[in-house]
Structure 1
Amino acid sequence: MNGSLVSNTVDIKLKRGPAGLGFNIVGGVDQQYVVNDCGIYVSKIKEDGAAALDGRLQEGDRILAINGVKLEDQTHKAAVDLFRTAGEDVELLVLKKSPHHTNGPAESQAEQAPPVPYLGLLAALTAAAAIFAFIYMRNTGRPF
């Protein structure tokens, strides 16, 4: 792993509660959640579950290993089976979701520039409207 991945990894120890570990997963080699990525990701944290009470595991985090068993190249079913048979005390190695997906203060979100694809679409629509207006005026013989 490169340095940026290592710095974003955390070990999380959870104690299985009455409702299990308290989160759902998606992904695997047979059910890719992210294009060209076979990882296992947290899709939902269940309220009042072990993960929610701990607070460190978040939706969008990638689970790299469970009790030392790497989840790389696992099918979704194999990963689910590992979670089900992991025992009462479970240790997860987690790659935290990238910072641009985290929630920040509202003012920092409001100051962000619009994404480039949005600006490109706006420019293309403006250009198309200008071309149609030019063709319409040219065909009707009306001066600009």
Structure 2
Amino acid sequence: MNGSLHSSPNVVDIKLKRGSAGLGFNIVGGVDQQYVINDNGVYVSKIKEDGAAGLDGRLHEGDKILAINGAKLEDLTHQVIVDLFRAAGEDVELRVLKKFPNHANGPTGSQPEPKSSVSLLEILVAFAGVAAVCAFIYMRLPRKHF
């Protein structure tokens, strides 16, 4: 790497303005908390929809943050990285290695579970409908009295 940050089409610079709730994303990684095996890098673990990053839309979960305001994040502990983010000021520039399509960061099998298209409310309504039909049929059956 010759001391320079990655220079590829997958590396982008993203400028964010810190909001009242911060930058609006969580990170994982560092030399003491490797997220990807044999990689001391820092990765975006969660984007808050209403935060600065979520509203901007360019930063995504799984992206690797290479630098903040020009400071490389290589070979640093997680706490040092967190401190750099906290001290970064209101206008923050991130150099980011975008997550490759179909590439999961983290341990094998860490793909997010697909979200169900059926809500709990829909299930309850369907169950109530089936119960009502069963009750109607039961009430209509002839009864024998002894």
Say yes or no: TM over 0.5. Answer: yes
**What is the match of residue 27 of structure 2?**
25
Q: How does 1:90-129 map to 2 (within 5 A)?
A: 90-101=92-103
Misfit runs of 4+, over 2 Å: none
Aligned to 2:84, the other structure's residue is in SS state helix
Aligned to 2:33, the other structure's residue is in SS state coil
Q: Please tell me the residue identity of whatever aligns with 1:77.
A: Q
**What is the match of residue 120 of structure 1?**
none
- TM normalised by structure 1 equals 0.67
Percent identity for Structure 1 against Structure 2: 78
Give unmatched runs, 5+ long, in structure 1: 103-144
Q: Give the whole-Å Cα distance in 2 for the aligned partners of 1:5 and 1:90.
A: 20
Rg comparison, structure with higher value: 2
Please give the per-residue CA displacement for 1:30-75, whole angstroms capped at 9, x wherever unaligned. Answer: 0000000000000000120000000000000000000000000010
Q: Give the whole-Å Cα distance in 2 for the aligned partners of 1:52 and 1:64.
A: 19
Q: Determine which of 66, 69, 76 is the counterpart of 1:67.
A: 69
Aligned to 1:78, the other structure's residue is in SS state helix
> Does residue 41 of structure 1 match 2:21?
no
**What is the match of residue 136 of structure 1?**
none
Q: Give the whole-Å Cα distance in 2 for the aligned partners of 1:10 and 1:82.
A: 19
Number of equivalent positions: 101
- TM normalised by structure 2 equals 0.66
Aligned to 1:24, the other structure's residue is in SS state strand
Q: Determine which of 55, 58, 80 is the counterpart of 2:57.
A: 55
Q: Give the whole-Å Cα distance in 1 for the aligned partners of 2:100 and 2:7.
A: 10
Q: How does 1:68-87 map to 2 (within 5 A)?
A: 68-87=70-89
Give unmatched runs, 5+ long, in structure 2: 105-146
